């Protein structure tokens, strides 16, 4: 066993991880790493269940940030066109459709640097309406002030998504219009308002394994681990600085999932963007390594996602079921 890896204490959360310890987990033999992660997963979750989430772009394009992976940035020439904030009725119709198709969670995303107070009432109406449908609610609207976070909580928002994207040492290679501390400050405002945090990042942006370990180290040493931890496999988009990026090897992506499960054992670890180019075997390995949520629907903001028929077939092949759905009884 690697001398730099402390023995795991029956999947109990820790907040004292060192960067070297997290990186050492990545270096474990693949089968040993996945076995450990699978054990930890089963300590907190039913490994035959997946949470199904819908992600809807409620305001697309025109963002002043320069995140190198994003087609919605006004800094880059891409096929994405800017649109205004959707009406609440349109958002609720999409949420009803998603719920009818089996989704348990609705995520609303707006391409903003920060939430403006003038837009808060309209966003709050979306949130309260979706919450009233019985769906778990999540939103990603850019940076928040503490008062805005309190208002979103009052509207019924369960989770706020604000990704760190990558480790702190690689961050300025990806975005320079917002600092790492800006992101940490928004997460603090969300926690202080009593909401759960949804925070993860992206692999495949040219970062090293230590950078990936750096991201997970940041998440594992926050005052509270993210309750939701999305891992995105970069979908290179023409016209963005990262549009020609070399994909991360599939087994390396599974390692990322497994280490995320080990260092944040109680988090919902979500396979976010990138499933469109993953085989069902690779996705199955991710579930074995501790992923227990996927996004359903044909689109994730501005990128493709497997259709629902493909996801239904995947769950059937793996004999898995949506979270909260009773297991089929033997004949």
Q: Active site residue: 70, 199, 264, 286, which one?
A: 70
Residue of 67, 199, 264, 286 with catalytic role = 67
HSE (side-chain half, CA atoms, 13 Å) at 324? 10
C-alpha span between 176 and 173 (Å, rounded) = 8
- Asked whether residue 75 carries a pLDDT value surpassing 80, the answer given is yes
pLDDT, mean of residues 89-109? 91
Q: What whole-number distance in Å separates Cα of residue 175 and Cα of residue 170?
A: 9
Q: What is the dihedral of CA 274, 212, 264, 146, to 10 degrees?
A: -90
Q: Band the pLDDT of 311: cuts 50, 70, 90.
A: confident
pLDDT at residue 161 in the model: 96
Q: pLDDT of 209-243, one tens digit each?
A: 999 999 999 999 999 999 999 999 999 889 898 88
Rounded-to-integer distance, Cα 38 and Cα 198, Å: 22
What is the CATH topology of the domain spanning 19-316?
TIM Barrel (3.20.20)
Q: What is the DSSP letter of 205?
A: S
270 is catalytic: yes
Active-site entry in 36, 105, 138, 183 = 138
Tell me if residue 63 is catalytic: yes
Portion of the chain with pLDDT greater than 90, in percent: 70
Among the options 183, 255, 270, 275, which is catalytic?
Answer: 270
Higher pLDDT, 311 or 27: 27
Mean pLDDT of 262-278: 93
Looking at 63, 199, 264, 286, which residue is catalytic?
63
Please give the pLDDT value at position 73.
82
Alpha-helix runs per DSSP H in the chain? 19-26, 30-44, 88-100, 120-132, 146-155, 180-192, 209-220, 250-263, 280-288, 308-318
Q: Would residue 67 show up in a list of annotated catalytic residues for this protein?
A: yes
Asked if residue 129 lies in contact with residue 92, where contact means CB atoms within 8 angstroms, the answer is yes
Residue 247 has pLDDT above 60, yes or no: yes
Helix (H) or strand (E) holding 299: strand 299-300
- Catalytic residue (choose from 36, 105, 107, 321): 107
Q: Catalytic one among 36, 105, 183, 198?
A: 198
Q: pTM surpassing 0.85?
A: yes
Mark whether 264 is an active-site residue.
Answer: no
pLDDT value, residue 179: 95
Q: Has 199 been annotated as catalytic?
A: no
């Amino acid at each position: 066993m690697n001398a730099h890896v402390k023995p795991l204490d029956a999947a109990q959360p820790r907040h004292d991880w060192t960067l070297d310890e997290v990186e050492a987990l990545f270096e474990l033999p693949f089968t040993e790493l996945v076995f450990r992660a699978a054990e930890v997963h089963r300590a907190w979750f039913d490994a035959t269940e997946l949470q199904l989430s819908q992600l809807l772009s409620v305001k697309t394009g025109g963002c002043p940030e320069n995140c190198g992976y994003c087609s919605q940035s006004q800094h880059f020439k891409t096929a994405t066109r800017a649109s205004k904030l959707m009406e609440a009725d349109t958002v609720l119709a999409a949420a009803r459709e998603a719920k009818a198709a089996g989704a348990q969670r609705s995520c609303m995303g707006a391409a903003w640097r920060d939430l403006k107070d003038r837009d808060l009432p309209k966003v709050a109406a979306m949130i309260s309406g979706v919450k009233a449908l019985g769906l778990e609610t999540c939103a990603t609207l850019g940076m928040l002030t503490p008062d805005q976070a309190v208002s979103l909580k009052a509207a019924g928002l369960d989770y706020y998504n604000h990704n760190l994207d990558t480790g702190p040492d690689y961050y300025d290679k990806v975005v320079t219009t917002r600092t790492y501390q800006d992101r940490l400050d928004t997460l603090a405002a969300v926690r202080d308002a009593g909401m759960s945090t949804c925070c993860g990042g992206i692999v495949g942006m040219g970062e090293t394994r230590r950078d990936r370990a750096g991201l997970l180290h940041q998440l594992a040493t926050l005052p509270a681990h993210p309750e939701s931890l999305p891992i995105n496999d970069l979908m290179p988009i023409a016209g963005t600085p990262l549009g020609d990026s070399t994909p991360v090897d599939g087994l390396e992506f599974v390692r990322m999932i497994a280490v995320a499960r080990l260092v944040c054992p109680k988090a919902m670890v979500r396979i976010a963007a990138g499933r469109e180019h993953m085989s069902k075997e690779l996705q199955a390995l991710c579930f074995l390594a501790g992923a227990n949520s996927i996004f359903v629907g044909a689109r994730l903001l501005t990128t493709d996602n497997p259709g629902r028929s493909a996801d239904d077939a995947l769950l059937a092949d793996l004999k898995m079921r949506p979270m909260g759905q009773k297991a089929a009884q033997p004949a």
